[in-house]
C-alpha cells in the first residue's frame, strides 16, 4: 500500500483528510457501498408522487411508465392507480389499457398477480370508465 | 432535441422531411429516420409516438369524445382508440412465429443430404475393407482367441462353455 503523494496547493492539504476505509484496515472492514437503501414504501411513494403531478405531460407519463416497467418488479396498485389517473388527465385511454397489458405481461409466470391488481384497481377502473384488455377481448388473438 | 420533444408532446410526426432552422447556422433537413420511431416492445409499453399519425375525420371526432367521460365510449370505440395509438396489442406482439417448423425441416433436409454424401463416399471413394473382416476369417479368429484362453476369468473365454463347445447361456 502506498500513501498518496501530498500535493501542496494553495487551498491547503485537503486530500489526506478524506478517509478511505478500504485501505486503512485491510482485514477489519469490507468495501460495501455506504449508500442508503430505499425502502419499498419510499419507492412506492416516490412513484405515486411522480404520476400524481397535476400538470404531468405525455412525455413524462411515457418516460415514467417505461422506466417503471424496466425495473425488476410489478408495480403496486397505488402506483398504477396514480398512473391511470394521469392518463385520465391527459385524455389518453389507449395508454391506460396499454399499462394494464404491460403489468400483466410483467408478472410473467406468476398468474395470480394480475387478477389481484385488477381487483385492487376495480374502483378506479369503474370510476374512470377504463375497460380491461380482457373486457375488450384484446388479451386473445 | 427540443424540437423532437415538442413533436412527441403533440403526439404525431407531422414533419417528415421538412426544413428546420437551427440558430443562424443554416438549414438542416430532418430525415425520417432521425425522428422518434414507433415500435412494439414488451419492455417499452408506451412508445414515443402514436402509431397512426394522420387521423381520419372519424378518428379525430373519436379523439374529441375521448376528452369526455370514458364510460360513454363503447367497446368498439375503445378498441379503435387503442389501435390509433398502438399497432399491436401485447398478445399479438408476443405471438410466436411458425419459424421452428422451417428450422426442423431444414435440419432434416441437411441431415438427409449428408447421408447421401456418405453413401456416395462409401461406394466411390473408399477402397475395399481388409480381408480380416470376412466371416470365415472372423470364425478362425474367435476360435484362436478361445484356444488362447483370452480373458478366461470374467471376459471373453469365460463366456465359452468348453465342455459343450458353445457359448454359455
ipTM, two decimals, is 0.76
The pTM is what? 0.69
Domain locations in chain B as residue ranges: 35-94, 97-127, 128-168
CB-based contact A65:B46 (threshold 8 Å): yes
Question: Which member of B9, B44, B70 has the closest CB to residue A130?
Answer: B70
CB-based contact A74:A111 (threshold 8 Å): no
Helix axis angle for A93-106 and B75-85, nearest 10°, is 80
Cβ contact (<8 Å) for B66 and A99?
no
Q: Best mutation site among B4, B38, B46 for testing chain A: the one with the most A CBs within 10 Å?
A: B46
* Mean pLDDT rounded to a whole number for chain B: 88
Cβ contact (<8 Å) for A138 and B46?
no
CA atoms within 13 A on the CB side of A24: 6
Domain locations in chain A as residue ranges: 40-136
- What pLDDT, on a 0 to 100 scale, did the predictor assign at position B98? 93
- Give the architecture (CATH level 2) of A40-136: Alpha Horseshoe (1.25)
- For B41, which DSSP code? B
Give domain B35-94's CATH superfamily: Cytochrome c oxidase subunit IV (1.10.442.10)
Contacts B2 to A, Cβ<8 Å: none
**Looking at the predicted structure, is the pLDDT value of residue B36 above 80?**
yes
State pLDDT tens for residues B80-132: 999 999 999 999 999 999 999 999 999 999 999 999 999 999 999 999 999 99
CB-based contact B38:B85 (threshold 8 Å): no
Q: Is some CB atom of chain A closer than 8 A to the CB atom of B141?
A: no
pLDDT higher at B119 or A27: B119
Cβ contact (<8 Å) for B45 and A102?
yes
CB-based contact A90:B9 (threshold 8 Å): no
**Looking at the predicted structure, is the pLDDT value of residue A19 above 60?**
no
CA-CA distance, B160 to B158, in Å (whole number)?
Answer: 6
State pLDDT tens for residues A83-131: 999 999 999 999 999 999 999 999 999 999 999 999 999 999 999 999 9
Cβ contact (<8 Å) for A93 and B82?
yes
**Which grid coordinates are listed for B37?**
420511431
- Nearest Cα to B37, choosing from B66, B56, B16, B54? B16
- What pLDDT, on a 0 to 100 scale, did the predictor assign at position A8? 47
Question: Which member of A66, A131, A133 has the closest CB to residue B46?
Answer: A66
Cβ contact (<8 Å) for B73 and A93?
yes
Identify the three-state secondary structure at position B44: strand
Which residues of B, range 25-44, sit inside 8 Å of A by Cβ? 42-44
Neighbours of B56 (CB within 10 A): 10
Q: Which residues contact A23 (CB under 8 A, 6 or more apart)?
A: A1
CA-CA distance, A24 to B69, in Å (whole number)?
Answer: 65
> Region A42-65: what's the mean pLDDT?
96
Instruction: Give me the total of CB pairs closer than 8 Å, taking one residue from chain A and one from chain B.
Output: 88
Q: Which pLDDT band, with edges at 50, 70 and 90, does B69 fall under?
A: very high
Amino acid at each position: 500500500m502506498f500513501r498518496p503523494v501530498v500535493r501542496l496547493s494553495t487551498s491547503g492539504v485537503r486530500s489526506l483528510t478524506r478517509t478511505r476505509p478500504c485501505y486503512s484496515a485491510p482485514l477489519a472492514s469490507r468495501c460495501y457501498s455506504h449508500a442508503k437503501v430505499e425502502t419499498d414504501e419510499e419507492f412506492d411513494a416516490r412513484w405515486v408522487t411522480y404520476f400524481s403531478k397535476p400538470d404531468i405531460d405525455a412525455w413524462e407519463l411515457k418516460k415514467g411508465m417505461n422506466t417503471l416497467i424496466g425495473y425488476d418488479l410489478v408495480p403496486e396498485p397505488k402506483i398504477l392507480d396514480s398512473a391511470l389517473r394521469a392518463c385520465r388527465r391527459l385524455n389518453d385511454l389507449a395508454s391506460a389499457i396499454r399499462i394494464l397489458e404491460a403489468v400483466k405481461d410483467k408478472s410473467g409466470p406468476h398468474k395470480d398477480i394480475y387478477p389481484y391488481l385488477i381487483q385492487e384497481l376495480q374502483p378506479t377502473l369503474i370510476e374512470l370508465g377504463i375497460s380491461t384488455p380482457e373486457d375488450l377481448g384484446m388479451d386473445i388473438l | 432535441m427540443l424540437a423532437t420533444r415538442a413533436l412527441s408532446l403533440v403526439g404525431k410526426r407531422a414533419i417528415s422531411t421538412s426544413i428546420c432552422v437551427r440558430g443562424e447556422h443554416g438549414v438542416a433537413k430532418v430525415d425520417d429516420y432521425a425522428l422518434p420511431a414507433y415500435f412494439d416492445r414488451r419492455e417499452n409499453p408506451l412508445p414515443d409516438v402514436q402509431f397512426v399519425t394522420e387521423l381520419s375525420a372519424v378518428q379525430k371526432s373519436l379523439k374529441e369524445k375521448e376528452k369526455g367521460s370514458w364510460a360513454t365510449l363503447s367497446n368498439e370505440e375503445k378498441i379503435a382508440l387503442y389501435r390509433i395509438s398502438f399497432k399491436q396489442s401485447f398478445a399479438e406482439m408476443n405471438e410466436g412465429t411458425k419459424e421452428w417448423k422451417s428450422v426442423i425441416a431444414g435440419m432434416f433436409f441437411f441431415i438427409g443430404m449428408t447421408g447421401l454424401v456418405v453413401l456416395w463416399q462409401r461406394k466411390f471413394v473408399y477402397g475395399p475393407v481388409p480381408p480380416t473382416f470376412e466371416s470365415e476369417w472372423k470364425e478362425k479368429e474367435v476360435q484362436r482367441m478361445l484356444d488362447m484362453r483370452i480373458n478366461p476369468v470374467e471376459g471373453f473365454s469365460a463366456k465359452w462353455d468348453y465342455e459343450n463347445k458353445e457359448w454359455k447361456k
